[in-house]
Amino acid sequence: MIRIMSLLFTFFLFFMTAAMTVANNSPPSRTPSSPVKSPDSNLNLTPTPESESLRPSDLVSDRNLEERSNEMLQDTQNSETILRLSWAMVPNAVKYKVIFNDEEYITCINGIEVKVNSVEQTFKITALDLYNNVIRDDISVLETEVNPFMMRTTTEFDKMDYAPLYPVYSWVPKYNADYYLIQLLKDGEIVRSYQTREKDEDEIYDFYDYQPIDEAGEYYWRVKAMSKYGFALSEWSEQTEANSFTVTAPTKYAAFGDSITHGGGAISVPPSVAMYNWETYCSIPIKNLAKSGDTTEQLINRFDNDVLSFAPKILIIMAGVNDFRANTIGWETICNYKILAEKCKDNGIIPVFITPTPINPDLIKKAKLIERPPSDWQTHYDYACEWIRKQEYFIDITADFEDEEGNLRADLTTDGLHPDMEGKKIIGQAVQEWFYQNNPDV
């Protein structure tokens, strides 16, 4: 009897040790997130600090575990039928509804993976706005893949003259993935590794890199889907022209600012998509040095590294919306403008200020993405615009963006803060026109 009890106790200790090992190796706990993401935030994702950056070897402590991970991936692919659908992005669509066999799915990216009983399926894809109104019905599927092993990236660096200083990595979410590993490679060597948080209610499909990429070289990034137990659910995405880019310096022309210059729109579309970058609609190649969420004070703090690293001759500066929509008063914004202008002068750079776009408090409140701006925001917005109009070089876009009450036109924005595609076109074309009129050597 004593011998039996001893064996049972030994088994209990072994079981508890194994359970604790799995728990300790689990990825970070879930963090609540907003129903729909703003381009100014990265609510679903978090970078792993460089001192804690993950390597593939951190996830598989020995060869047997790695082999078992590959076996489980193969078993999953063999036992289930997964279809990955891709389609063209629809301007101003916040999300897409995918219906097949009375099953309904919602995705914020122009692609989805779904489990099916047969590959002979008929799908209906509909583009929706934030409030589920139909923007476009019966969207055609461009590509269908059965049981895809590799992740599919959705960045469009190949459509940009330069990759942004702060790139955003995006992909089609993997069926049943809990989190993702991301790696940035420079000249074939891994230089950064990140891990997203575990998904909660939202799908995870992009990652904002808040470390500037300012060293010259050839880059590309890749992503892998993971289970919460640390097993790979996909292979690394392959290198393509769309997820590769080259960094060189100096750059003749650059743009400095916040998310409106960084890119992204329709709430859910990240800056990795060229459609919502105003640089797309300007024929002059301009390096994007913007960073989502920045105030004018934050621009000052990163000027020496981010701007001087590329030594532009002309710097387009568009900022201030994150000042007056929050609690920074107009005279503080003007003081920061002056510091930026002085820094440009000291370094032989011509600053060209663009008037900030107004905001639409009613739409901000309706979208529930950020807190409602102060009631006197227009006073500080007007003050900033008046200072800009007195500069030697400036671009005034207020007439194109203001409605009768001085708010951001509702037809140009989804969330009341960020201009969507048509708004980005207005900015890009205004910058292009300024170059044609003021800079004969373009």
- The predicted pLDDT at position 184 comes to 98
pLDDT of residue 202: 63
The pLDDT-based confidence of 68 (bands split at 50, 70, 90) is low
When mean pLDDT is compared across 22-26, 176-180, 211-215, 404-408, the lowest value belongs to 22-26
Distance of CA 239 to the CA centre of its chain: 19
Cβ distance 357 to 419 under 8 Å?
A: yes
Q: What is the CATH number of domain 249-442?
A: 3.40.50.1110
Domain 32-79+148-248: give its CATH code.
Answer: 2.60.40.10
pLDDT at residue 301 greater than cutoff 50 = yes
Measure the CA–CA gap between 392 and 108, rounded to whole angstroms. Answer: 42
- Residue 197: per-residue pLDDT: 83
Residue 272 has pLDDT above 60, yes or no: yes
Task: Write down the pLDDT at residue 100.
Answer: 85
Average pLDDT value for the chain: 85
pLDDT confidence bin for 350, thresholds 50/70/90 = very high
Is the pLDDT score of 91 beyond 80?
A: yes
State the Cα torsion 152-157-160-162 to the nearest 10°. Answer: 170
Higher-pLDDT residue of 122 and 109 is: 109
**DSSP sequence for 158-190:** GGSSS--SS-EEEBPPPTT--EEEEEEEETTEE
Q: What is the mean pLDDT of residues 250-272?
A: 96
Q: Is the pLDDT score of 441 beyond 80?
A: no
Q: What is the pLDDT of residue 123?
A: 87
Q: Where are the domains of the chain?
A: 32-79+148-248, 81-146, 249-442
Query: What's the confidence (pLDDT) of residue 368?
Result: 85
Model pLDDT, residue 67:
55
Q: Which segments of 4-130 are extended strands (E)?
A: 81-87, 95-100, 103-107, 111-116, 124-128
* Residue 327, pLDDT above cutoff 90: no
Q: Band of the pLDDT at 119, cuts 50, 70, 90?
A: confident
Cα 21 to chain centroid distance, Å, stands at 34
pLDDT score at 38: 37
